[in-house]
Structure formats: structure tokens, C-alpha cells
């Protein structure tokens, strides 16, 4: 369709129809990245929430019988700790496979091998910082492997900068205030995150407050006063925008 002669409003409407706003019940992309501070534990928590949402969407299919692979490099383990099986959601306790890799190279190898395994529902990886091994070529290998075998990858990037990547969806996560518990005001509330979607192939950028509710992942639009600063998406004059990759 040629939109060159359409009015500005109609052109924007056409673009919006082609790229609808992200919704929490949207299908999990085959390669996503979550950038989060290691001190808050939000990366792992948000990844778990996305995994649970994907498994709920796949109820009644073979996903219910498949395992979840969780790969961490040594620095990620040191910064954020290992998954605590007894503290995981009940539906995941018996199906989690944890791999502790010594180096980022070993972690990337384990993730790629996991993406080739048809007995896995999803692969979650945690890598700290911006290791040299996780360059655009390595990212592209993960994307192609996930696409070939149809296994989603959620890569949590702890204390990392948004460098070049072929990930189809990229988030920045930070902790957000929990909703007050319904019955006991002194109890901790459900986990909540301030989520900034700064790059996606199928959706425009946006910000939400995500809440891990018992039966679903809830999302509400973040206040406009917290609009993101995209200054780090372009590195200097003439540099390519990370949002355009």
C-alpha cells in the first residue's frame, strides 16, 4: 500500500495497525533481552513472569510437559545468586534445569545447545556486563538457532549496556512498588517492575508497570512523567541507532 499521499493522521494510523502496542498476552518472541541492575533481582523475576505467561498460553499443548533451561555465567551467579528451587513458582519447581557456566563463552554454548533441544519449553540465560564473547555475531547465532528450532530465549543482561544485538525484543527493567496485599497489609506484595520496551520488531516502544498476578501478567501504562531517555541508543554522530537494528 502506497501511503505517500495519505494525510499524516491516516499514515500514523496505518503504522499503528501494522505495529500494535505490546500486550502481556502477546506471544513470547524467540529472542528477547532484559537489561536490569544486578542489585534488584528484577531481571530474573521478570524473566520468570514472562516464562509463566508463555506456559499459561501453551496450556493443553506439549509445553506443559517440557522443561525450562536456566543458564548463568559465574559472574551472574556471584552478582544475583542461583535460582532457589523451593522459592520458584510451584509449576516450575519440578521442571527447571540449571546450568552454572564458568565463562560467558560456556554460557552462550549452553544456551545455543538448549535451543536445539525439543524437550525444552524455553531457555533463560543470565550474563553479567558486556563480555566480548557476546558480540553481534554471537547474538545473531542465538537468534537463528531459536528461529530454526522454535524455542524462545530470554537473555537477562545484568549491569550491561545496550550494545548491538539481533534480539527481537529488548527491555529495560527496574523495580516498582508492589500493590498492597489484599488480606495482610504487613505482608510483601506481588512483584512489580517498571518495564521500558525500547526496541521491538513488531511493536512501538513504550513503558509499563508490570505486575506478577497469580493467574496472569498484568500491565498498566507507566505515567508519562517517566518517559525514557533514548540518548544511549545512538552512539555519537553518524552512529547507527540500536533501535533500528
Q: With a cut of 90, say whether residue 26 has pLDDT above it.
A: no
Cα torsion 89, 99, 44, 187 to 10°: value is: 40
Higher pLDDT, 11 or 53: 53
Alpha carbon distance 162, 241 (integer Å):
11
Length of the chain: 245
Q: Has domain 26-176+187-224 been given CATH number 3.40.50.300?
A: yes
CA distances from 42 to 28, 47, 104, 173 (A): 18, 8, 20, 7
The residue ranges of every structural domain in the chain are 26-176+187-224
Which of 13-27, 40-54, 82-96 shows the lowest per-residue confidence on average (mean pLDDT)? 13-27
157 beta partners: 35, 127
pTM: 0.81
The pLDDT of residue 65 = 83
Tell me the average pLDDT of the chain.
Answer: 84
Triad 164, 167, 172: Cα angle to 5°? 80
- Each residue's pLDDT tens digit, 130-161: 999 999 999 999 999 999 999 999 999 999 99
Amino acid at each position: 500500500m502506497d501511503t505517500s499521499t495519505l494525510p499524516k493522521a491516516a499514515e500514523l494510523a496505518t503504522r499503528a495497525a501494522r505495529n500494535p502496542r505490546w500486550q502481556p498476552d502477546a506471544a513470547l518472541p524467540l529472542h528477547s533481552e532484559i537489561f536490569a541492575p544486578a542489585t534488584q533481582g528484577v531481571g530474573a523475576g521478570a524473566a520468570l513472569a514472562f516464562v509463566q505467561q508463555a506456559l499459561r498460553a501453551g496450556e493443553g499443548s506439549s509445553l506443559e510437559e517440557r522443561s525450562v533451561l536456566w543458564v548463568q555465567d559465574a559472574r551472574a551467579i556471584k552478582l544475583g545468586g542461583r535460582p532457589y528451587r523451593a522459592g520458584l513458582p510451584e509449576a516450575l519447581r519440578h521442571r527447571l534445569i540449571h546450568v552454572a557456566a564458568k565463562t560467558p563463552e560456556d554460557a552462550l554454548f549452553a544456551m545455543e545447545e538448549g535451543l536445539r533441544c525439543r524437550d525444552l519449553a524455553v531457555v533463560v540465560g543470565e550474563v553479567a556486563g558486556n563480555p566480548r564473547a557476546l558480540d553481534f555475531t554471537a547474538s545473531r547465532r542465538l537468534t537463528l538457532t531459536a528461529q530454526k528450532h522454535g524455542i524462545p530465549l530470554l537473555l537477562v543482561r545484568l549491569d550491561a549496556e545496550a550494545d548491538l544485538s539481533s534480539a527481537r525484543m529488548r527491555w529495560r527493567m527496574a523495580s516498582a512498588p508492589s500493590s498492597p496485599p489484599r488480606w495482610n497489609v504487613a505482608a510483601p506484595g506481588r512483584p512489580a517492575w517498571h518495564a521500558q520496551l525500547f526496541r521491538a520488531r513488531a511493536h512501538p516502544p513504550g513503558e509499563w508497570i508490570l505486575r506478577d498476578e497469580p493467574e496472569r501478567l498484568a500491565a498498566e501504562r507507566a505515567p508519562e512523567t517517566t518517559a525514557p531517555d533514548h540518548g544511549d541508543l545512538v552512539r555519537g554522530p553518524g552512529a547507527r541507532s540500536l533501535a533500528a537494528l
